[in-house]
Amino acid sequence: MSNKLSKRLQTYELTVNDIHETDIEKLHELSIGVGWSHRPEDWQLLMQVGRGYVGCDEIGRVLGSAMWFPMGDDFATIGMVITSPRLQALGAGRWLMNHVLQQCGDRDLRLNATREAYRLYISQSFEPIAVVCQHQGEAVDPGHVQVPGGAQIREAEAADLAEMVRLDREAYGADRTAILEHLIRLSEGTVLMRDGRVAGFALCRPFGRGRVVGPIVTRDVDEAIALTAPHLAHHAGAFVRVDTDCSNSAFTAFLSRCGMPQYDTVTTMCLGMRRGEGGQMRTFALSGHTLG
């Protein structure tokens, strides 16, 4: 990509640059400016697994960003689409998104839209497919949680990766091997064992103000609760976040009982073929709004 592409937005002359040429502290300042909770370490993870662009002004300030995250050869998620408040009404977000869409080619795409960005994505032919509830707060130990009959919960091990990838591919509809490899290195994990095989899993890692539990991938809500409970017990009293489809009413009720009421919502949107439908496995919690 040429780093000479530029656009004048009223009094601003923005230049588009590869995000990997940008200092993470500048990206952190950008996300803080719009009230997002990402730490420099969270940006570092995204830089390791994604690609993207920033818009810089004449003196090198980062005033916008947009990233995409390839998952196999035919799918990607889009995220970290941020525009400095002073440029939000001037088309900077659309300009950066157009660069990302060009790089994504004919991949099927998915993203999670904030209320502020929803109209932008609608205008670029994304279609809403679900609403995700962001539950967060000071976690409360759920106490004893019944594990579904015939199953056991244990800590995840490195040797479980292949089975986690298989289950995640069925639930999510895309190959997230590279992303899961990074997430597992940063996470504590629980797996649900049935008939000697991994039949579900949940990861918990540091993120933002505390920790995030996700992805959570399993067959039904009772299993999802059994996989999540050990993480909430372990981090009782600390800030924990879980992002789940709002239609998972029994799961959202469990999170609320555990000190994590609904805080906000985003809209999951897709461009191209919808993925992850029709199989037995379900994604009960996202790894985050950006990576899905």
Phi-psi domain of 203 (left: phi exceeds 0; alpha: psi -120 through 50; beta: other): beta
- The CATH architecture assigned to 134-285 reads 3-Layer(aba) Sandwich (3.40)
Q: What is the pLDDT of residue 1?
A: 42
- According to DSSP, the β-strands at 6-9 and 12-18 are antiparallel
The answer to whether residues 27 and 65 touch, using CB atoms and an 8 Å cutoff, is yes
The pLDDT of 174-184, averaged and rounded, is: 95
Query: Would the pLDDT of 60 be above 80?
Result: yes
Query: Would the pLDDT of 118 be above 60?
Result: yes
Query: Beta partners for 283?
Result: 217
pTM of the model: 0.92
Which CATH number does 6-106 carry?
A: 3.40.630.30
Q: What is the pLDDT of residue 90?
A: 61
List alpha helices for the chain, DSSP H. 24-33, 40-49, 92-104, 118-123, 161-172, 177-186, 221-234, 249-257
In the chain, CATH 3.40.630.30 sits at 6-106, 134-285
Express each pLDDT in 200-248 by its tens digit. 999 999 999 999 999 999 999 999 999 999 999 999 999 999 999 999 9
Q: What is the pLDDT of residue 11?
A: 57
